[in-house]
């Protein structure tokens, strides 16, 4: 909102907005709706299905493959061209389908917003759709409501608002209507304003709408997101890098063969052009884009089952490279609900689970001095008060019966100055005042204490012990509430704090905290063992953040200097932060701009950063991070739209599950790439040396058939291999990782050479030890045997590729059923071209004798044996 409404009075606000407490008329609301538009956040324009489809063809390998197909069609090989185009179109269609499916999953999450608001129009209270709110509308708020627009409070009654979505402050803020003199003041300190998407936790209020839609504070942050550069993921960088390498390889080899063939006068220009096309087809793994997409899509489905919804396919793999996970505290690391952990009663501090409070005055004070309300959705009210009720429910105390047996007569509401809240309860003999509040304030009004059912004077020793216990609990970041009561002889006509809240009998106190999720500590430990550094970035207080970080193992007790606040960050220049950011693991009391600075500082260290968040204040950092992780339950629409992944359960442990899946996805893509490129290198070398030696060479249809049948199906099946048991004990790959790391490039090289040597060896044997006297039949058999050997070698090599360095015999070799079927189907399709006479002419092959098949099979088996021997030596050398 442009106007500083916190500075002006209620009357000035109403006059400025040309409205009154009676509300707007129907004609005024229509006019303003036309002027300001609907109260919604503008979404970024989505791509149409056609645009999504066209985008699939921007990959460099796809473009080169399309050029090769066009040349093949021009040269007369229409069938080859059609098969290539079919592969390309199927890949594009699958990519479009998966993108649309991901968008639909996110659209479903958008149903979690507040649909309606109570307003006063024409001096009548009515309920309208929140999207129809306009500036000047008078709205009514109560506990449980989500504020639907930015508002200036007109009157309040004990109003408390949770503004964590906007400011990161997890504890509700006490609101009032008083004007504030300061012009420049943080959002969290504007106590007379309410903001869109924040939650009323206590009390009631009446307010005037001062801004809607994109003009709200939430809308301003949504606008900021458009100025954040889109991050390129490690997977996208690796694929682009791979495409460039292959493109250069394809052009260089094809040109070399074409030039040598023409200079040596081996064939006509057209025939050498077809040979060059054959080499291009052999060099390009045309199935790779489809394999990457399918592997990512399968990873997406697996993650969705584990509550991680993927908005962008590359994000699946990016998590696998993550080195830093910067997590919000409230709701992600913690349960986002205050919970009673400690109980102080009879001058003894005990764990809440072990405390005996049944039908005690402490129990009555917890239940009766409480404004929580029950609803179908659960308990509604201030988090500390709902925690007290929930604690009694968990202890099987009959809350409803206590409330019925001891009805409330009157109350003195909580206020931020005296920090107390009291109620007068009707009992059989005389009324009783029950009171709760801050320990120091309550003790000033206390003269006696209840110990084991007996009431005695409160001694200095008792007072010191209570205050010391309060200090210890507060040091552990527990929020402490104390309780007391006082029998009354009569109830004054005008109850007041001065008259009634004195001569109290102290009965105990409780320590509460928003506790860590039980599974998060193990998840943090697992992250550390995987070489990932977990960070906490929160708007909460330093002490609270430190306590939770210690409990979760994010920091150790000796690392309290690893905590820094937003105000301390402001004192650091960008260069100073970049050089010192790795000193800190907890960032407390931070603002949205701090979160962006922190993420960028880690990225400047060369780290891949995953950032989690649920609030509007998190959105810029979510978009800046290499991977943004939004919250599906508590997350705002802005934060979800800025994210790459949305957690349906808001749970940090789910991120670690997703990291494991991401690592598995990369490992499987890497296996597929090693398999494909070593196979294609074998094809290229075979063709190249066949050309150089003057031998007959494979026809484009033969090469493409091998690529489609023996390359694609097993490679896709490799994409769903189970994660290796040590995958979460390895260090993250990091920003500079590539598919060729970890010895993959050398493996591709020697395995491709081995494939070529074995295939050429079989061709040589067929020529030098012929089964026919006819020159044409000898070379036809040799070409067929080489064709069958190359295909069979790749089927055997697929088993080698199930583990890059590990022996295939150390794991369940046939555990991947899809892989088993892919080998069987590929083998049938490959050898059908030889065994079925009708296919012989199409694929230019001849039937083979049994002795010839034995030579072919020997070549295939040798591939499996030799690679396993090499991997054995590699493992021994690494050890």
Look at the block and give the residue holding tokens 């986002």: 336
Position with higher pLDDT, 107 vs 394: 394
Please give the mean pLDDT across all residues of the chain: 83
Report the Cα–Cα distance between both ends of the chain, in Å, rounded. Answer: 64
Backbone dihedral angles phi then psi of residue 620, each to the nearest 5 degrees? -60, -40
Look at the block and give the residue holding tokens 């179908």: 376
Position with higher pLDDT, 112 vs 377: 377
| Beta-ladder partners of 339 | 513
- Please compute the mean of the pLDDT values over residues 490-498 and round it to a whole number: 84
- Please compute the mean of the pLDDT values over residues 758-769 and round it to a whole number: 93
Question: What pLDDT score does 666 carry?
Answer: 82
| Beta-ladder partners of 326 | 535, 611
Position with higher pLDDT, 402 vs 285: 402
Provide the whole-model pTM: 0.66
Give the 3-state secondary structure of residue 573: coil
**In this predicted structure, which of 210-214, 308-312, 469-473 has the lowest mean pLDDT?**
308-312
Q: Alpha-carbon torsion 691, 695, 699, 703, what sign?
A: negative
3-state SS string over 553-568? CCCCCCCHHHEEEHHH
Distance separating alpha carbons of residues 703 and 91, to the nearest angstrom: 20
Distance separating alpha carbons of residues 693 and 340, to the nearest angstrom: 83
Distance separating alpha carbons of residues 546 and 559, to the nearest angstrom: 10
Look at the block and give the residue holding tokens 């968990």: 394
Give the 3-state secondary structure of residue 123: coil
**In this predicted structure, which of 81-90, 564-573, 638-647, 656-665 has the lowest mean pLDDT?**
81-90
In Å, what is the CA distance from 375 to each residue of 141, 157, 172, 395? 17, 21, 20, 20
The alpha-helical segments, DSSP class H, found in 10-77 are 10-16, 26-36, 49-55, 60-74
The alpha-helical segments, DSSP class H, found in 709-816 are 713-718, 744-768, 775-800
The alpha-helical segments, DSSP class H, found in 209-360 are 217-225, 234-263, 269-283, 288-305, 314-321
Distance separating alpha carbons of residues 1 and 286, to the nearest angstrom: 53
| Contacts of 409 by beta carbon, 8 Å cutoff, 6+ apart | 423, 424, 425, 426, 431, 491
Q: What percent of the chain has pLDDT over 70?
A: 84
- Cβ atoms 531, 323 nearer than 8 A: yes
- Please compute the mean of the pLDDT values over residues 798-816 and round it to a whole number: 80
Is the predicted pLDDT of residue 779 greater than 70, yes or no? yes
- Cβ atoms 786, 697 nearer than 8 A: no
What single string gives the DSSP state of each residue in 160-223?
EEE-HHHH---SPEE--------SS--GGG-TTEE-TT-EEEEEEEEEEEEE-GGGSHHHHHHH
Please say if 328 is a catalytic residue: yes
Position with higher pLDDT, 544 vs 856: 856
Distance separating alpha carbons of residues 18 and 753, to the nearest angstrom: 82
Position with higher pLDDT, 680 vs 245: 680
pLDDT tens profile 117-167: 899 999 899 989 888 999 999 999 987 788 999 999 999 988 888 886 677
pLDDT tens profile 293-325: 677 777 777 888 888 887 776 777 777 788 999
Is the predicted pLDDT of residue 91 greater than 70, yes or no? no
Instruction: Work out the pLDDT band at 108, boundaries 50, 70, 90.
Output: very low
* Candidate list 59, 77, 145, 328, residue with the active-site label: 328
Position with higher pLDDT, 128 vs 275: 128
Question: What pLDDT score does 44 carry?
Answer: 57
Instruction: Work out the pLDDT band at 114, boundaries 50, 70, 90.
Output: very low
Question: What pLDDT score does 278 carry?
Answer: 64
In Å, what is the CA distance from 783 to each residue of 711, 764, 767? 19, 10, 9
| Beta-ladder partners of 344 | 349, 509
Give the 3-state secondary structure of residue 273: helix
3-state SS string over 150-174? EEEEEEEEEEEEECHHHHCCCCCEE
**In this predicted structure, which of 36-45, 72-81, 313-322, 743-752 has the lowest mean pLDDT?**
72-81
Exposure b/e, 154-174, CB count within 10 A at least 16 = b: bebebbbbbbbbbbbbbbbbb
Please give the domain boundaries of the chain with CATH numbers for all domains. Answer: 5-36+134-211 (2.70.150.10), 233-307+658-878 (1.20.1110.10), 318-335+518-656 (3.40.50.1000), 339-513 (3.40.1110.10)
Instruction: Work out the pLDDT band at 65, boundaries 50, 70, 90.
Output: low
Look at the block and give the residue holding tokens 């149409």: 48
Is the predicted pLDDT of residue 332 greater than 90, yes or no? no
Is the predicted pLDDT of residue 532 greater than 60, yes or no? yes
């Amino acid at each position: 909102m442009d106007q500083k409404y916190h500075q002006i009075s209620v009357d000035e606000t109403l006059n400025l907005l040309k409205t009154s407490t009676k509300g707007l008329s129907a004609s005024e609301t229509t006019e303003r709706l036309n002027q300001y538009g609907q109260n919604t956040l503008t979404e970024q324009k989505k791509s149409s299905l056609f645009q999504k489809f066209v985008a699939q063809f921007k990959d460099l390998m796809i473009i080169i493959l399309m050029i090769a197909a066009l040349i093949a069609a021009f040269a007369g090989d229409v069938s080859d061209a059609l098969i290539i185009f079919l592969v390309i179109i199927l890949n594009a269609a699958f990519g479009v389908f998966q993108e649309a499916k991901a968008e639909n999953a996110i659209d479903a999450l958008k149903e979690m917003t507040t649909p309606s608001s109570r307003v006063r129009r024409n001096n009548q209270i009515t309920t309208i759709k929140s999207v129809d709110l306009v500036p000047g509308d008078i709205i009514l708020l109560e506990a449980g409501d989500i504020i639907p627009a930015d508002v200036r409070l007109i009157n309040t009654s004990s109003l408390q608002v949770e503004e964590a979505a906007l400011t990161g402050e997890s504890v509700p803020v006490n609101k009032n209507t008083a004007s504030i003199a300061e012009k420049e003041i943080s959002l969290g300190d504007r106590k007379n304003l309410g903001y869109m998407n924040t939650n009323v936790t206590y009390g009631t209020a009446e307010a005037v709408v001062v801004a809607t839609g994109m003009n709200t504070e939430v809308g301003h942050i949504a606008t900021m997101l458009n100025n954040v550069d889109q991050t390129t993921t490690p997977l996208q960088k690796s694929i682009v890098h791979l495409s460039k390498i292959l493109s250069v390889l394809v052009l260089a080899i094809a040109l070399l063969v074409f030039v040598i063939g023409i200079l040596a006068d081996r064939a006509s220009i057209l025939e050498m052009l077809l040979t060059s096309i054959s080499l291009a087809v052999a060099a390009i793994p045309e199935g790779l884009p489809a394999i990457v997409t399918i592997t990512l899509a399968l990873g997406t489905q697996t993650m969705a089952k584990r509550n991680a919804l993927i908005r962008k396919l590359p994000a699946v793999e990016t998590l696998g490279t993550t080195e830093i996970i910067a997590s919000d505290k409230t709701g992600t690391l913690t349960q986002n609900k205050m919970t009673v952990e400690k109980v102080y009663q009879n001058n003894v501090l005990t764990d809440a689970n072990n405390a005996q409070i049944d039908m005690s005055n402490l129990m009555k004070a917890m239940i009766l001095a409480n404004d929580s309300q029950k609803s179908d959705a659960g308990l509604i009210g201030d988090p500390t008060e709902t925690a007290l009720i929930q604690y009694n429910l968990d202890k099987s105390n009959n809350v409803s019966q206590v409330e019925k047996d001891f009805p409330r007569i009157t109350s003195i509401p909580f206020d931020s100055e005296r920090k107390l809240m009291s109620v007068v309860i009707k009992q059989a003999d005389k009324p009783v005042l029950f009171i709760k509040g801050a320990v120091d304030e309550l003790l000033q009004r206390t003269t006696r204490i209840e110990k084991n059912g007996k009431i005695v004077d409160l001694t200095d020793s008792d007072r010191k012990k209570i205050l010391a216990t309060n200090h210890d609990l507060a040091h552990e970041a527990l929020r402490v509430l104390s309780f007391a009561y006082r029998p009354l002889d009569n109830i004054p006509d005008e109850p007041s704090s001065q008259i009634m809240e004195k001569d109290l009998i102290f009965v105990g106190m409780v320590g509460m905290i928003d506790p860590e999720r039980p599974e998060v500590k193990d998840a943090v430990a697992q992250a550390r063992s995987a070489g990932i550094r977990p960070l906490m970035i929160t708007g909460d207080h330093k002490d609270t953040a430190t306590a939770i970080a210690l409990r979760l193992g994010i920091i150790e007790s000796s690392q309290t200097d690893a905590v820094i606040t937003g105000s301390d960050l402001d004192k650091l220049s960008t260069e100073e932060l970049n050089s010192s950011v790795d000193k800190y693991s907890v960032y407390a009391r931070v603002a949205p701009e701090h979160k962006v600075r922190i993420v960028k500082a880690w990225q400047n260290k060369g780290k891949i950063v995953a950032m989690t968040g649920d609030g509007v204040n998190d959105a810029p950092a979510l978009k800046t991070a290499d991977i943004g992780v939004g919250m599906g339950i508590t997350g705002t629409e802005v934060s979800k739209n800025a994210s790459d992944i949305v957690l349906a359960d808001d749970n940090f442990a789910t991120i670690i599950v997703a990291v494991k899946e991401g690592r598995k996805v990369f490992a499987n893509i890497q296996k597929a790439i090693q398999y494909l490129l070593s196979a294609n290198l074998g094809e290229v070398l075979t063709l190249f040396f066949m050309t150089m030696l003057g031998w007959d060479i494979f026809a484009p249809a033969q090469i493409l058939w091998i690529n489609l049948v023996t390359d694609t199906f097993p490679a896709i099946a490799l994409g769903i291999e189970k994660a290796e048991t040590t995958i979460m004990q390895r260090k993250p790959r990091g920003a500079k990782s590539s598919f060729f790391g970890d010895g993959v490039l050398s493996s591709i090289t020697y395995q491709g050479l081995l494939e070529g040597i074995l295939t050429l060896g079989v061709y040589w044997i067929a020529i030098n030890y012929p089964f026919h006297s006819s020159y044409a039949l000898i070379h036809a058999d040799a070409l067929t045997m080489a064709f069958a050997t190359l295909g069979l070698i790749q089927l055997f090599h697929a088993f080698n590729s199930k583990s890059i360095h590990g022996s295939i015999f150390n794991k369940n070799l046939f555990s991947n059923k899809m892989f088993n079927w892919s080998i069987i189907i590929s083998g049938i399709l490959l050898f059908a071209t030889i065994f079925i006479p009708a296919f012989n002419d199409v694929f230019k092959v001849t039937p083979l004798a049994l002795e010839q098949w034995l030579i072919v099979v020997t070549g295939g088996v040798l591939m499996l044996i030799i690679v396993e021997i090499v991997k054995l030596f590699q493992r021994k050398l690494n050890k």
